[in-house]
Structure 1
């Protein structure tokens, strides 16, 4: 492994620990608990806003879940259903499981939020003993990704998902815990996002099954 790759790996390992520590903190505030989806929030130490944690269980397999939620450069097919995702490109493939990517959005939030872009380090690893897949992201600077004048650079602070297969005695389900910390930048107040987000994601598990049918051409 090169020195640069080793440096990125060290950052990725630290990021995994940070996300795990944040997910397991006490005193999360419940925002919504509906239809099997628990949404909690806590003040972020990285910006003037909240970080959110979403927990739910789905009957989707781990492979199907990743297919629906990840862009093509990370092995998924999210572009087939997500109209807010304009472009996701590979900046650098550090290792098979550690990549630097650039994400560009169209307008979102019912068209109220102008396009944004992110440059992030994306890393995934498996934990065999708990049958868990960990996927984490964090914004990074990269010499091939200078800011553009026509789009706002947003920041993704330690963010991630833990996906664990749960044995239900003959059947299995997938438990998902997702942590989100995003500073969208620009002039829109943070209160707009903190108010809108819980209502945008409460139907997430059911929507994922619909999107999977779109991806597999069954719609």
Structure 2
């Protein structure tokens, strides 16, 4: 059981953590590369798995890109992100901090069963225009483990949208996934799932931002 100060502290630590991942170039190994995205990984210092980093440039203003990514119920992300089946806010802690539950569908041809995740989520804006969404797992009395879902645990993860100087219609998007999927999954399934699902995430994001632009 966490209190509000503790949630706030955890959320702020995650935001610092993601900035350090973005700024620290050392130790990343590229595992997937396309025109849209470079996905790399390194061993996590948070749990016995990997932290994955995606980086790519999306054709669209930061406002449009963020509109597609922002963590809100009934937001656009549930519509286009294959890995988000449902997103709900369990408790609003402060204007920019909430406790959220995310439900993911089965994946990897059914080898990965549906999961749910309970996280504290912080949306942070920086002076240079950068906007980030930062999340990590918490325990919340409003969401005990439910039948039909394996409870997974996100370690510091999220996305950072960075404006590109002189290019108002392009946005650099960093994503960080660092997830303990829970359950007894073979390591090889997990290691192949994240790079391919992150590549799909970028290609779907690019498509939805483009369609958004054409309206």
The separation in 1 between residues aligned to 2:108 and 2:160, in whole angstroms, is 26
Match of 1:147 in 2: 145
Kept after mapping to 2: 8 A contact 1:71/1:79 = no
After TM superposition, the structure 1 = structure 2 runs for residues 171-190 of structure 1, keeping only pairs within 5 Å, are 171-190=168-187
- Greater mean deviation of Cα atoms: 154-163 or 30-39: 30-39
Match of 1:127 in 2: 126
C-alpha change, 1:39 and 1:131, in structure 2 (3 Å) is same
TM-score in terms of structure 1 length: 0.85
Kept after mapping to 2: 8 A contact 1:55/1:175 = yes
Aligned-pair distance for 1:4? 4.0
TM-score in terms of structure 2 length: 0.86
Q: Secondary structure at the match of 2:20?
A: helix
C-alpha change, 1:216 and 1:90, in structure 2 (3 Å) is farther
Aligned-pair distance for 1:5? 3.3
Kept after mapping to 1: 8 A contact 2:52/2:176 = yes
Aligned-pair distance for 1:23? 2.9
Could you tell me which runs of 5 or more consecutive residues in structure 1 were left unpaired when the two chains were aligned. Answer: none
Kept after mapping to 1: 8 A contact 2:130/2:160 = yes
Q: Does 1:196 align with 2:193?
A: yes
Q: Secondary structure at the match of 1:179?
A: strand
Of 157, 177, 202, the residue aligned with 2:155 is: 157
> 1:114-137 CA deviation, whole Å, 9 max, x = no partner?
110000011011111x22112100
Aligned-pair distance for 1:100? 0.2
C-alpha change, 1:209 and 1:154, in structure 2 (3 Å) is same
Match of 2:18 in 1: 19
Root-mean-square deviation (Å): 2.5
- Greater mean deviation of Cα atoms: 176-185 or 46-55: 46-55
Higher relative contact order (CA 8 A, sep 6+): 2
Match of 1:210 in 2: 207
Match of 2:93 in 1: 94
The separation in 1 between residues aligned to 2:173 and 2:138, in whole angstroms, is 25
C-alpha change, 1:64 and 1:119, in structure 2 (3 Å) is same
C-alpha change, 1:217 and 1:143, in structure 2 (3 Å) is farther
Kept after mapping to 2: 8 A contact 1:80/1:215 = no
Aligned-pair distance for 1:140? 0.3
Kept after mapping to 1: 8 A contact 2:82/2:201 = no
Bigger radius of gyration, 1 or 2?
Answer: 1
